[in-house]
A and B are shown apart, each in its own frame.
Chain A
Amino acid sequence: MQNHILSIILFTPLLGALVLLFVPKENKDAIRWIANLFSLGGFLISLPLVPMFWAQRFEPGFKFIEGSPSNWIPTIGAGYLIGIDGISFLLIMLTTLLGWISILSSWTAIENRVKEYYVWFLILQTGMLGVFMALDFFLFFVFWEAMLVPMYLLIGIWGGPRKLYAAIKFFLYTLAGSVLMLLGILFLYFHHHALTGIYTFSLTALYQTAPKIYSDPAYGPNIAILLFFAFFFAFAIKVPMFPFHTWLPDAHVEAPTAGSVILAGVLLKMGTYGFIRFSLPFFPDVLMHTRVRTWMIVLSLIAIIYGALVSLMQKDMKKLVAYSSVSHLGFCTLGIFALTPLGLSGSVLQQVNHGISTGALFLIVGILYERRHTREIAEYGGISNVMPVYATITMIMFLSSMGLPLLNGFVGEFTILQGTFMENWRWGAWAVPGVVLAAAYLLWLYQRVFFGTVTNPKNEKLHDLTPREVLTFVPLLIMAFWIGLYPKPFFQILEQPVNQIVANVRTPQSGGVVNAATQPDAAQAPIATTAAVIDAPTRVQPTKGTK
Chain B
Amino acid sequence: MFLTHIWLIPLLPAVGAAVMFFFGRRLQKATVSAVCVGSIVLAFILACGAVWQYSAWSSTSDNFHKPYQTILCTWLGSDTGHLNYRTQDGSPAPLQADVGFLLDPLSSIWLLFVTGVGMLIHIYSTGYMAHEGGYYRFFGYLNLFMFSMLTLILANNYVLLFVGWEGVGLCSYLLIGFYFHRKSASDAAAKAFIVNRIGDAGFLLGMFFIAWYFGSLRFIEVTHIAHSGRFSIGDPIITAATLLLFVGACGKSAQLPLYIWLPDAMEGPTPVSALIHAATMVTAGVYMVARSNALFVLAPTSMKTVAIVGALTAIFAASIGLVQNDIKRVLAYSTVSQLGYMFLALGVGAFAAGVFHVFTHAFFKALLFLGAGSVIHSMSGEQDMRNMGDLGHRIPITHRTMFIATLAIAGIFPFAGFFSKDAILWETWSREGGAYRFLWYVGYATALMTAFYMFRLMYLTFHGRPRMSHEAEHHIHESPMSMTVPLIVLALCAVGTGWLGWPHSLGGSDRFTKFLEPVFAGEARVLQEEGRTSQLVAGVEEQHNSSTEWLLMALSLAAAGLGWGMAWRSYRHADKGYTEPIAAAVPPVYDVLLHKYYVDEGYDYVFTGRRKLGNVRLGVLGLGTASAWFDTHVVDGAVNAAGWITRLTGTISSWWDKWIIDGIGVNGPATLARILSYPARLFEWGLVQWYALVMTAGLVGFVFYYVYR
Binding site for B on A (CB under 8 A): 58, 169, 172-173, 242-243, 245-247, 306, 309-310, 312-314, 340-342, 345, 382, 384-385, 399, 404-406, 410-411, 414-415, 417-419, 421-422, 425, 428-429, 432-433, 435-437, 439-440, 443-444, 447, 450-453, 485-488, 491-492, 494-496, 498-499, 534-539, 541-542, 544-547
Cβ contact within 8 Å between B74 and A488: yes
Q: A538–B87 Cα gap in the complex (Å)? A: 12
Is B71 on the interface with A (CB-CB < 8 A)?
Answer: yes
Give residues 146-174 of B contacting A (CB, 8 Å).
Answer: 159, 162-163, 166-167, 170, 173
List 13 A–B pairs whose Cβ atoms lie within 8 Å, in order of A's numbering.
A58-B80, A306-B631, A310-B624, A313-B627, A399-B170, A404-B166, A405-B162, A418-B95, A435-B197, A452-B186, A491-B79, A546-B68, A547-B63
* A488 in complex: contacting residue of B71, B75, B198, B220, CB < 8 Å: B75
Which residues of chain A come closer than 8 Å to B68, judged between CB atoms?
546-547
Is B92 on the interface with A (CB-CB < 8 A)?
Answer: yes
Complex interface bits, B187-230 against A, C-beta within 8 A gives 1, otherwise 0: 10110011001101100110011011001101011000000000
Cβ contact within 8 Å between B80 and A447: no
Which residues of chain B come closer than 8 Å to A404, judged between CB atoms?
166-167, 170
Is B396 on the interface with A (CB-CB < 8 A)?
Answer: no
Cβ contact within 8 Å between A499 and B186: no
Q: A160–B194 Cα gap in the complex (Å)? A: 34
Cβ contact within 8 Å between B212 and A488: no
Q: A439–B638 Cα gap in the complex (Å)? A: 30
Q: A538–B211 Cα gap in the complex (Å)? A: 15
Cβ contact within 8 Å between A436 and B194: yes
Which residues of chain B come closer than 8 Å to A246, judged between CB atoms?
631, 635-636, 639
Cβ contact within 8 Å between B643 and A499: no
Cβ contact within 8 Å between A310 and B208: no
* A451/B78 contact (C-beta < 8 A), A422-B85, A499-B83, A542-B218 known: no
Cβ contact within 8 Å between A491 and B201: no
A-side interface mostly? helix
Is B602 on the interface with A (CB-CB < 8 A)?
Answer: no
* A312/B624 contact (C-beta < 8 A), A384-B180, A415-B95, A491-B78 known: yes
Is B183 on the interface with A (CB-CB < 8 A)?
Answer: yes
* A491/B208 contact (C-beta < 8 A), A443-B194, A546-B66 known: no
Cβ contact within 8 Å between A345 and B83: yes
Give residues 39-95 of B contacting A (CB, 8 Å).
Answer: 63, 66-71, 73-87, 91-95
* A169 in complex: contacting residue of B73, B80, B643, CB < 8 Å: B643
Given contacts A419-B85, A542-B218, 8 further A-B contacts (CB under 8 A): A342-B95, A410-B166, A425-B209, A440-B620, A452-B180, A452-B181, A541-B94, A545-B70
Chain B: interface residue total (CB-CB under 8 A): 72
Cβ contact within 8 Å between A437 and B620: yes
Is B130 on the interface with A (CB-CB < 8 A)?
Answer: no
Which residues of chain B come closer than 8 Å to A411, judged between CB atoms?
76
Cβ contact within 8 Å between B76 and A428: no
Binding site for A on B (CB under 8 A): 63, 66-71, 73-87, 91-95, 159, 162-163, 166-167, 170, 173, 177, 180-181, 183, 186-187, 189-190, 193-194, 197-198, 200-201, 204-205, 208-209, 211-212, 215-216, 218, 220-221, 620-621, 623-625, 627-628, 631, 635-636, 638-639, 643
Cβ contact within 8 Å between B85 and A340: yes
Cβ contact within 8 Å between A418 and B85: yes
Cβ contact within 8 Å between A451 and B81: no
The 9 A-B pairs at the shortest CB distance, nearest first, are namely: A491-B78, A451-B186, A246-B636, A405-B163, A312-B624, A421-B208, A309-B627, A313-B628, A313-B624
Chain A minimum-CB-distance residue to B174: A395
Cβ contact within 8 Å between A447 and B201: no
* A425/B70 contact (C-beta < 8 A), A405-B167, A492-B79 known: no
Chain A minimum-CB-distance residue to B71: A544
A480: min CB distance to chain B, Å: 14
Chain A minimum-CB-distance residue to B66: A546
Q: A539–B620 Cα gap in the complex (Å)? A: 43
Which residues of chain A come closer than 8 Å to B189, judged between CB atoms?
447
B616: min CB distance to chain A, Å: 16
Chain B minimum-CB-distance residue to A432: B201
Cβ contact within 8 Å between B205 and A428: yes
Q: A243–B636 Cα gap in the complex (Å)? A: 9
Cβ contact within 8 Å between B621 and A312: yes
* B639 in complex: contacting residue of A173, A340, A486, A535, CB < 8 Å: A173
Q: A541–B78 Cα gap in the complex (Å)? A: 12
Q: A311–B78 Cα gap in the complex (Å)? A: 34
Q: A404–B75 Cα gap in the complex (Å)? A: 15
Q: A425–B68 Cα gap in the complex (Å)? A: 33
B132: min CB distance to chain A, Å: 16
Cβ contact within 8 Å between B77 and A488: yes
B557: min CB distance to chain A, Å: 45
